[in-house]
Structure 1
Amino acid sequence: MALFSCCKFQARSCFMLLLCLTFTVSVTYYIQLPNDWISSVSDNIYSYYRNLTVHSPPRPRHMQTTDQRTTADSTPAVMSVTSRANTKATEDLMSTVAPTPYNAAYPQNYHFILDEPDKCKQENPFLVLMVPVAPHELEARNAIRSTWGNETVVQGKTVTVLFLVGLPGIKTEKQQEELNLESQKYHDLIQSDFMDTYLNLTIKTMVIMDWLATRCPQAAYSMKVDSDMFLNLDNMMNLLLAPETPRINYITGMVMWNRPVIRDPASKWYVPQELYPEDYYPTYLLGMGYIFSNDLPKKLVEVSKDIQPFNIEDAYVGTCLKKLGIAPSTPPNPSQFKAYFNGNYQREEFQRVITTILSSPQQLIKFWQDSRRPT
């Protein structure tokens, strides 16, 4: 027993000695590293971990099992969705100790890679439809090109449609080559050099505003419209051509009043207090699709220099509008901006709306073709 106790004591002593030596060597190596390198690595690992655990990006829309949009009462329809880990992407990200993907929203921090700078000079549009879409969502773009995106003249007014993408995050070289070819074929693709992620939707929206301000100031109106939307351009043109519709400082859509800021880190709509300290957002328009007079993009870009960005893009635009002293307008018929249709297709309903959310490119093609057929 005494011999066993002695051996046990010696083993423990050896282990403690080894632990001390390891600690001493680690500290010696650590203090020899440049301080700025140490700080950079520490900060980047923290940023990556925070984004991975708090801001995990949602699955692409076509892979989601439920719709995650905010409904008219700003309550998420479903607060959690099934997600899958992309092991290779995570390993690649950690191997480079990548910084947080969310940067400044001021759009002139970014540059256009693919551009159509003369599009508005050539077409002189009355209305420009800007569609933010993920680089890989070719099917969504083609569905729009074959439906409402193909309506170039409505009630005698020229309409131009453009798609805005950022940098692809997967299969980068192959996807970029495909985007280049698509741009050469259709001449309706704009690409900027921000990472195209859910967290960067605010950047994406402000880049749209920058393009409109610098490339297309002559248009009368513009619309930011998501790629999964049904759009009835006849009804929209009726609204824009109405004598009472303002020509400046005008923005309308589905109006959101007194929406609380979500502080739950498990929520897709989580915003930390350091990014937006107020408890409620100012009045804003739901990001699925809002129409605005084309004097606003330049004003929004300019004021965004002084407003801290946060990751809820439509509420951020509302914050910029508040700073400008411009209030969103309630549309004459609010029911024309529908977050969802009731699930049962009714032709008459789609002939009444301006816009509503659909679930797939195939559904857009089917409903649009039926709503356009002669009665």
Structure 2
Amino acid sequence: MKIYFRIFVVLSAAAMVIFTMNLRTNQISLLSEPMVLPPTEHLTSTSRPFYGHASLKGNASFFIPGNNIFFSLNHAFSLDGSNICKDKDPYMVIFILSLHDKTTQRTAIRQTWGSVAKTSRWPGTMFTKIIKIVFLFGVHENAVLNEIVRAESDVHGDIVQANFMDTYSNLTLKVLMGFKWMSIYCPRTKFVTKTDEDSFIVLPKLLHKLESKTMGNTILGPFFFTDTVFRSGKYEVDRKVYPLSMYPPHCKGNLYVMPARLATKIAAVSNHFQYMRMEDVFITGILAKVFDARHASLDESEYYKYKSATMCELSTGSKILSQGNDAKTQYNIWNTFLEPSMCS
């Protein structure tokens, strides 16, 4: 068995070298300009104990990118948000997945927890680190809605739109295009965060958690060490897309945070795998596995996976995140931070 394992290690390393050489030779561009393939020392490691369900260990070669290109990241940015990081390099860029017609939801975020991006203030706290929020969009089939988003971008300067159709199936593409945008316009940020427009994030608590951990190659979020692949129903995945029976460790839900360098590497190899519309599993699990990334969990004491936190659970520091909030609820939560006596 040792001999076979050594042969596998040698073949895996050789395959990765050939892959790297082919990319450089053919100058495959994942961006509008060539993107340097991440260094091989961060690819799936054979020097550390295998990380994930035991059934995946014998299929580790699946997580080595091949030469085929399965989908494109060469979508131009119709709204490029080029001024978002122009003045200073942020500590964190927060990508918020938004729908074109959710104007009031975006306004609520800008005036509540997202106001930190403009003011560097949180009730009772001054931020020493620069945070930026970016609302991500594709192109809507309704031209009027695209114009609404464009006008909103002119006012707030916090919108990025890429030229692909904005559909549920393209959520994965939306996030990857966000990573691509970051690598072009905000390359020196330290962390990237993905969240949704119905989320409320207690940013001081989130930053404190990040600072208490070594995040070099780690993704923070609601963590699942393993999960079964469904072949039917809402979460169906075709065997041609992902042939294994279990997913690698990954994050799910409304929030995950990773080092910007890891996000750039994930974008660089993403289209060498079959596209998967389950964005969180694909990005934080399958693609993260290519680089032997680890995960840090938000547990039940910090985040409810299947329900919203109460206003007072957020304002008293019990929870980092709540999901399922409409615009009115965002304001109500924010008011408990402005008036702590509401929860005393």
Question: 1:371 aligned to 330, 337, 343, which one?
Answer: 337
Cα separation, 1, equivalents of 2:267 and 2:286: 12
Deviations 1:279-309 (A, max 9, x none): 1111111141101111112110112132111
Partner of 2:102: 137
The AA in structure 2 aligned to 1:219 is: T
Q: Report the secondary structure of 1:252's partner residue.
A: strand
Consecutive unaligned residues of structure 2, counting only runs of 5 or more, are 1-68, 121-125
| Counterparts of 1:274 and 1:210, CA distance in 2 | 26
CA distance in 2, matches of 1:301, 1:342: 31
Distance 2:311 2:77 in 1: 41
Partner of 2:301: 335
TM-score, scaled relative to structure 2: 0.72
For 2:245 and 2:203, the matched residues in 1 are separated by 37
Q: Equivalents in 1 of 2:71, 2:274: separation in Å?
A: 8
Name the structure 1 match of 2:319: 353
Please give the per-residue CA displacement for 1:256-278, whole angstroms capped at 9, x wherever unaligned.
122111212xx322222222211
Query: Secondary structure at the residue paired with 1:121?
Result: coil
- The alignment-based identity, stated in percent, is 27
Partner of 2:235: 269
The equivalent of 2:179 in structure 1 is 209
Relative distance call for 1:222 and 1:166 in structure 2 (3 A) is same
One-letter amino acid matched to 1:368: W
Correspondence for 1:41: none
Residues in 2 aligned to 1:357 and 1:216: alpha-carbon distance in whole angstroms: 27
The answer as to whether partners of 2:311 and 2:332 remain within 8 angstroms in 1 is: no
CA distance in 1, matches of 2:133, 2:197: 11
Matched, 1:257 2:225: yes
Q: How many residues align?
A: 264
* TM-score, with length taken from structure 1: 0.66
Q: Identify if the C-alpha distance between structure 1 residues 160 and 197 changes in structure 2 by more than 3 Å, giving closer, same or farther.
A: same
Contact kept in structure 1, 2:314 and 2:333, CA below 8 Å: no
Shift of the 125–252 alpha-carbon distance from structure 1 to 2, 3 Å rule, reads same
CA RMSD of aligned residues (A): 2.0
The equivalent position to 1:162 in structure 2, one of 125, 131, 134, is 134
Contact 1:248 1:294 in 2 (8 A): no
C-alpha separation between the residues in 1 aligned to 2:138 and 2:231?
28
Aligned to 2:264: 298
CA 1:362 to 1:219, structure 2 compared with 1: closer, same or farther past 3 Å? same
3-state DSSP of counterpart to 1:337: coil
Aligned 8 A contact 2:200 2:325 in 1? no
Does residue 200 of structure 2 align to residue 233 of structure 1?
Answer: no
- Which residue identity is paired with 1:322? K
The aligned runs of 1:186-225 (5 Å cut-off) are 186-225=156-195
Residue 337 of structure 1: how far off its partner (Å): 3.0
Aligned to 1:325: 292
Give CA-to-partner distance per residue, 1:316-348, whole Å, 9 cap, x none.
0110011111122235x66323224467x3514
- Looking at CA atoms only, which structure, 1 or 2, has the larger radius of gyration? 1
